[in-house]
Chains A and B, each alone.
Chain A
C-alpha cells in the first residue's frame, strides 16, 4: 500500500498519531517509530474502507489510547527496572498458574506476584470494558462530575486570578495608601498638597513614602509611534522613587532615576510605558527606548517598559511620568496620593498614630489643616477588598453545588455496584479479595471522575469566558484570569478527590455484603434508601429555591433593561472632552471653542442636534453634584442648615432636544436665555417638591452656586433615570449661563442614523476644530445605559447559571435514586411481573417513585422559598418576591424533570425478565 491512497481524514489522524509517538521512550521511538506509523496508516486505511470516517476516528482513538498506555507502561517499567524483570523473571512456565483468556477478569488483582502498575493498567482495561458495556449510568456520572467541577473551576479561576495571583509587587502586604481625611467626617477624603507630602516624607520614621496622581494626556503621532493620530491615555504621574517603593522591575530599559525630576514645576521629560502600549503603539520596537514621544504637545523620552501593574484600582494605565512635586506647584494642591511601605516592625496603627502627631505639628504652622489628619488603608484591601467577599461567597456557594454533585456521583456508584452485585459475587467466589474488588472499583470511579473533570474544564472554559465578558468593568485584574496551570491543577485535584472519595464511600457501603456471607439486613437497606431519597429531595428543594430566585432576578433584570429611561437612548451618540486649561484659560475662549465645536458637529451628516452638558447620563465617571437652593418667594430661614439640595447641571440650549427628553410645561432653553435674565429648567420631581401646589413655571429659585440673582423657572421636563437605568429620579436643575471655566464637558448628539456610525466622524470633527483636543469616550447612549446595569446583568446571569446547574444536578440525583431502586428491587419487580403486572404498570411504578421524591422536594422547596426569597427584595426592581406564576412554573418544571430522569430506569425496569430476576436473587 502506498501513502497516496490514504484519504484526507486518515491523513489527519496519521499526523495526530505521529505527534503522539513522542510519548514513547526515545529508544523505541527511534527504532520502531516509523514502522508504527506505517502500520497505523495501513490499519487506519483498512478501517476507513470498512466503516468510513467514523471507523477511522474510532480506530484512531483506540490506537492513541493504546500508544499512551504502552508509553506509560514502558516508562514506568524502565523507571522501576521492570524492563529487565519482565524478561528475566520469576518462576518457570509450569510454576505459575497460566492465565486463560476467559477467566482473566474474574481473578483480577488477586494474585500477589504482579507489580502495582500492572494491576492498575489491568484494572483500567477492565474498567473501560465495564463502562462501555453499560454506558448510561457512567455517562450520567461523568455529566454530574462535569457540572460540579466545571462550575467550581470557573469560579476558582476567577478567585485565583483576581485574589490569589501575586500582584507583581514586592511584599504587597507592607504597602499602605495614605489619604488626607477630615477629622469630623472621615468620608471626606482628599489628596495631599506637595508641602504636606514633603513634610511627612521627611519626618515619618515608620514608613517610606512615595506619591502619585492621575492625569490624562494626549499622545500625538510622530517618531516610532504607530497608534491612532491623537489619542487620550491614562497616565500616572509619580515621584521618581514610586517604582522602587512598589518593587516593580522594568521589562526593558529602566524606571525613573532621582535626577529625572525636573528642576522646575511640572512633569519630567521622561516616560515609562506599559507593555500593552509598547506592543500596540510601537509595535514592540526596541528603538522606541530613548526616542521621543509627543505628550500634550511636549517632547518626552521613553526610557523603559513595565508590565501593566496598576498601583491603584484603576485599569488601563499606559504611561508613567515623574514629577518632583515642587511645593510651589499650585496645580498639585490636595492632589497627591501617597503610598507608603511600612518599615520593620511598623503597623498600620503605629503609622497612623505617627501621622496624626505629624499633622498636629503641621496644623500649628498652617491653621487651615487643623481639622485634617491622615488615614491609612491597606493597599491590597483597597484594590481587592470590595470584590473579595463577593467572590469568596460565590465560591462557597459553588462548592455547595460540588458537594451535591459528589453526593449524586457517590449515589450513582452505589447504584452501579448494586446492579453488578451478581458479577462481584462471582468474582469473590473465584477468589478475588475485597481489596482487589475495591481497587477495581476505585480505578473505575477515578476514571469516570477524571473524564468528568476533563469535560468540566471545557464547561469551565465556556462559563469563564461568558463570566469575564459580563464582569468587564466590575472586577479588577480581569486580565489575570485564565485557565492556567494552577487552575488546571485544581481541576485535576478536585477530580481525583471526588473520584476516590465517592467511590471509596460507595464501595465500602455496597461491598459490605459481597465478601461476607451475609447480605445487609433489610432494615439497613431501607435506611440507606431513605437517606438517599432524602438527599435527592433536598436537591430538588434547593433547585427550586435557586430556580425561583434565578427566574425572579432574570425577570427583574429584563424589566430593568426594557425600562424607559426618559431619553431616546437608541439615537444618541455621546463623548467626553477635557479642555486644556492653559490653552482655554479665558472663559470667553472656552465658550467660543464649544460653540465652534457644536457647529462643526451639527454639520455632520446624520447629526440632528448637538449639545454640551456637565453631567452625562449613565456615565459612571461623570461629574455630578448637588447644591443648595431655596424658593425665591419664601424668606431665607436663618440658621437652617444648608436647606434642600438638588443636582446642578450646566447645559447648552438643545440639550433636552438632543436627548429626546419630554417637556411637561413651559419651554426649554433657547438663545433668549444667554443674554436675558437668569433662568432655570427643573424636572418633575423637583417641581413637585418645591411647588407642591403646582404652578412651578410661575416661581423662581435662589441657587447661590449658580448666581446671585433668582432664577426664573421657564420649564419643567419629565423625570428621567440619570445614574443608571431604572434609577429613581432625583430633583434636578438645569442652567444655561456659564459663569466660570469648567474644563471638562460632555457632548450629546441626536442622530438620524445609527449613532455607532457617527463615532469616527465625531472624533475627526473634533480634531478639525482643534487638533490638540481629542474626544475621550466617544460612544453611544445605548451602550452606556447597557453597561449601567452590568452589575444586575451579571447577578441575573450568575443566578440563572447556578439555577440551571442545580436543576441538572437534581435530575441526576433523581436518576441515581430511581435507578438504584430499580437495581435493588429486581426481585420485587420480577415477582410483580410473575403475578401479572404489565410492563406499563411496572414503568408507572418506577416513574411514580421519581415523582414522589420530586414532590417531597418541591414541598420542602416551597417552604424554603417562603423563608429565603424575601431576602432578594433589595435586588429586585419592579418584581415582587412572591410571584405565584414563577413558583408554580418552577414546581412544574422540577416535577417534569423528575419524570424525565425516571424514564431510563423505568424502561430498564419494564424490560426485566421475571424468570431471571426471580432465579438470580
Chain B
C-alpha cells in the first residue's frame, strides 16, 4: 500500500494537513486552528471532511495515532503524528512542487516581458 501511495498526487487539504503535522503530534481542534493560522483564515476545514481525510491518510500509512504528549491538557483527545512513510511522501511532494514552481516562475517572467495578455 505505501508503495502505491507514493505515486498518488496529494490533494490540497491532504498536503496542508501533512505540513501541519510536521510541527509535531496534534489533535483535531489544534489542526483546525493551525491550518487557519497558517493560511491566514483562507482554509477552514470542518469536522466531517477533516476526519474523512485523516482516516484516508491513516489508511495510506502516512500518519498514525500517537500517545498524547506530556504537556497535553486533555488525555482523552486523539493525537495524530506523521509516520516515516509520510515524511518521505511529503519530501517527494515538495520536490515535485518546487519543480513546478520553478517552471511557473520562469515562464511568468517570460510572459511579462512579452506584455500583458488581455483576460
Partner of B7, one of A63, A67, A92, A99: A92
* Complex interface: chain A residues within 8 A of B100 (CB): 94, 98
A88 with B97, Cβ < 8 A, contacts A28-B52, A43-B47 known: no
Most A C-beta atoms less than 10 A away, residue of B48, B74, B96: B48
The residue on A at minimum CB distance from B4 is A88
Residues facing B in A54-79 (CB within 8 A) are 62-63, 66-71, 73-74
Contact of B99 among A62, A89, A94, A101 (CB under 8 A): A94
Whether A87 contacts B1 by the Cβ 8 Å rule is yes
Interface segment, one of B17-25, B55-63, B105-113: B55-63
Give 1 or 0 for each of A32-62: 1 = CB within 8 Å of chain B CB. Answer: 1001111110110000000000000000001
A88 proximity list for chain B (CB < 8 A): 1, 4-5, 7-8
Q: In the bound complex, what is the Cα–Cα distance between A918 and B10 (angstroms)? A: 44
Candidates A1, A28, A91, A94; contact of B55 at CB < 8 Å = A28
User: Which residues of the partner chain B approach A1 to less than 8 Å between Cβ atoms?
Assistant: 74
| Closest Cβ neighbor of A32 among chain B residues | B51
Q: Measured between C-beta atoms, what is the minimum distance from A354 to chain B in Å?
A: 71
Question: What residues of chain B lie closer than 8 Å to A38, measured between beta carbons?
Answer: 28-29, 77
Shortest CB distance B28–A (Å): 4
Residues from 29 to 44 in B contacting A, C-beta threshold 8 Å: 29, 32, 42
**A67, B8: Cβ atoms under 8 Å?**
no
Residues of B within 8 A of A35 (CB): 28, 51, 77-78
In the complex, A8 has a CB within 8 A of chain B: no
Q: How far is B29's CA from A38's CA once the two chains are assembled, in angstroms? A: 9
In the bound complex, do residue A31 and residue B48 qualify as a contact, i.e. CB atoms below 8 Å apart?
A: no
Q: Which residues of A contact B99 (CB under 8 A)?
A: 94
A668 to B55, CA, bound (A): 93
Q: Is A676 an interface residue (CB 8 A)?
A: no
Q: Which of these, B1, B51, B97, contacts A36 with CB under 8 Å?
A: B51
Q: A93: CB under 8 A from chain B?
A: yes
Docked Cα-Cα span, A62 to B49, in Å, equals 11
Q: B84: CB under 8 A from chain A?
A: no
**Interchain CB contact under 8 A, A67 and B59:** no
Asked if B47 contacts A39 (CB within 8 A), the reply is: yes
The answer to whether B49 touches A93 (Cβ under 8 A) is no
- In the assembled complex, which residues on chain B have CB atoms less than 8 Å from the CB atom of A43? 29, 32, 46-47
Docked complex Cα distance between A89 and B119 (Å) = 34
**Is A171 in contact with chain B by the CB < 8 A criterion?**
no
Chain B residue contacts of A87, Cβ below 8 A: 1, 4-5, 8, 56, 59-60
Closest to B48 in A: A67
Chain A nearest Cβ from B13, distance in angstroms: 11
With A35-B78, A93-B10 known to touch, is A71 a contact of B96 (CB < 8 Å)? no
Expressed in whole angstroms, the Cα–Cα distance for A91 and B97 within the complex equals: 15
CA distance A91 to B48 in the complex (A): 28
Q: Which residue of A lies closest to B119 (CB)?
A: A426
B82 at the interface (CB under 8 A from A): no
How far, in whole Å, are A74 and B77 apart by their CA atoms in the complex? 24
Given A31-B55, A87-B59, A98-B97, A39 and B9 contact (CB-CB distance below 8 Å): no
Contact B55 A89 (CB under 8 A): no
- Say yes or no for B54: interface residue by CB 8 A criterion: yes
Say whether, besides A43-B32, A99-B12, A74 and B93 are in contact (CB < 8 Å): no
Decide: A89 and B96 in contact? CB cutoff 8 A: no
Given A93-B92, A98-B100, A86-B56 contact (CB < 8 Å): yes
Residues of B within 8 A of A68 (CB): 48
B4 touches A36 (CB 8 A): no
Asked if A345 CB lies within 8 Å of chain B CBs, one says no
Contact B47 A66 (CB under 8 A): yes
Q: Which residues of B contact A28 (CB under 8 A)?
A: 51-52, 55
Is A96's CB within 8 Å of the partner chain B? Answer: yes
Chain A nearest Cβ from B57, distance in angstroms: 9
- Residues on B with beta carbons closer than 8 Å to the beta carbon of A40: 47
The reply on B87 being an interface residue by CB < 8 A is no
CB of B85 within 8 A of chain A?
no
Per-residue CB contact flags for chain A residues 95-114 toward chain B (1 = under 8 Å, else 0) read: 01011010000000000000
In Å, the complex CA distance between A1 and B29 comes to 11
**Nearest residue, chain A, Cβ from B5:** A87
- B-contacting residues, A1-50, CB 8 Å: 1, 17, 24, 28, 31-32, 35-40, 42-43
In the complex, what's the smallest C-beta–C-beta distance from B75 to chain A, in angstroms?
Answer: 13
Using Cβ atoms and an 8 Å threshold, which residues of chain B touch A17? 47
Give CA–CA (A74, B49) in the complex, Å. 10
How many residues on the B side are at the interface (Cβ–Cβ under 8 A)? 34
**Contact residues of A: prevailing secondary structure:** helix
Q: How far is the CB of B15 from chain A (nearest CB, A)?
A: 10
Residues of B within 8 A of A31 (CB): 55
Task: Output the nearest chain B residue to A34 by Cβ-Cβ distance.
Answer: B78
Partner of A89, one of B9, B29, B47, B97: B9
- Chain A: residues with Cβ within 8 Å of the partner, total of 38
Does A350 reach chain B (CB closer than 8 Å)?
no
What is the CB-to-nearest-CB distance from B99 to chain A, in angstroms, rounded to a whole number? 7
For the complex, what is the distance from the CA of A88 to the CA of B9, rounded to whole Å?
Answer: 9
A429 touches B (CB below 8 Å): yes
Do B29 and A71 touch across chains, with their CB atoms under 8 A apart? no
Knowing A35-B78, A38-B77, A42-B29 touch, does A63 contact B9 (C-beta < 8 A)? Answer: no
Interface 1/0 per residue, B65-94 and A, CB below 8 Å: 000000000100110000000000000110
Please tell me if the beta carbons of B48 and A36 are within 8 angstroms of each other in the complex.
yes
Chain A residues positioned under 8 Å from B78 (CB to CB): 35
List of A residues within 8 angstroms of B9 by Cβ: 89, 91-93, 96, 98
Across-interface contacts of B10 in A (CB, < 8 A):
93
B6: nearest residue on chain A (CB-CB)?
A: A92
Whether the Cβ atoms of B46 and A67 lie closer than 8 Å is yes
For residue B47, which residues in chain A have a CB less than 8 angstroms away from its CB? 17, 36-37, 39-40, 43, 63, 66-67
Q: A66: which of B1, B48, B55 is its contact (CB, 8 Å)?
A: B48
Which residues of A lie under 8 Å from residue B4 when comparing CB positions?
87-88
A215 to B77: give the CA distance in the assembly, Å: 73
Give the CA-CA distance A93 to B11 in the complex, in Å.
10
Report Cα–Cα, A240/B90, bound state, in Å: 84
A32 adjacent to B55 (CB under 8 Å): yes
Residue of A nearest to B3 (CB): A88
- Return chain A residues, CB-CB under 8 Å to B7: 88-89, 91-93
Question: B32 touches which one: A39, A91, A426 (CB < 8 A)?
Answer: A39
Contact of B29 among A39, A74, A99 (CB under 8 A): A39
Residues of chain B within 8 A of A93, CB atoms compared: 7-10, 92-93, 96-97
Q: B52 contacts A74, CB within 8 Å?
A: yes
Nearest CB on A from B118, distance (A): 9
Chain B residues near A429 (CB-CB < 8 A): 119
A88 to chain B: closest residue by CB: B4
User: In the bound complex, do residue B48 and residue A70 qualify as a contact, i.e. CB atoms below 8 Å apart?
Assistant: yes
Contact between B46 and A62, CB atoms less than 8 A apart: yes
* Interface core residue of B8, B52, B97, B99 (most chain A CB under 10 Å): B52
Give the residues in chain B near A73, CB-CB below 8 Å.
52
Q: In the complex, A40→B5 CA distance in Å?
A: 30
The distance from the CB of B85 to the nearest CB of chain A, in whole angstroms, is 13
B51 and A89: CB pair below 8 A? Answer: no
Give bound CA distance, A38 to B28, whole Å. 9
User: Taking the nearest CB of chain B, how far is it from the CB of A33, in angstroms?
Assistant: 8
Complex Cα distance, B100 from A17, in Å, reads 41
Query: Lowest 6 A-B CB distances belong to which pairs?
Result: A67-B48, A88-B4, A66-B46, A93-B96, A32-B51, A70-B48
Besides the known contacts A28-B52, A67-B46, A101-B42, 10 further A-B residue pairs in the complex with CB atoms under 8 A apart = A32-B54, A35-B78, A36-B28, A66-B49, A67-B47, A69-B49, A86-B8, A91-B7, A93-B8, A98-B100
Chain B residues at the A interface, C-beta cutoff of 8 Å: 1, 4-5, 7-10, 12, 28-29, 32, 42, 46-52, 54-56, 59-60, 74, 77-78, 92-93, 96-97, 99-100, 119
Q: Return 26 A-B CB contacts under 8 Å, by A number.
A: A1-B74, A28-B52, A32-B54, A35-B28, A35-B78, A36-B51, A38-B77, A43-B32, A43-B47, A63-B46, A63-B47, A63-B48, A67-B46, A69-B48, A69-B49, A70-B52, A87-B4, A87-B8, A87-B59, A89-B7, A92-B7, A92-B9, A93-B96, A94-B100, A96-B9, A98-B97
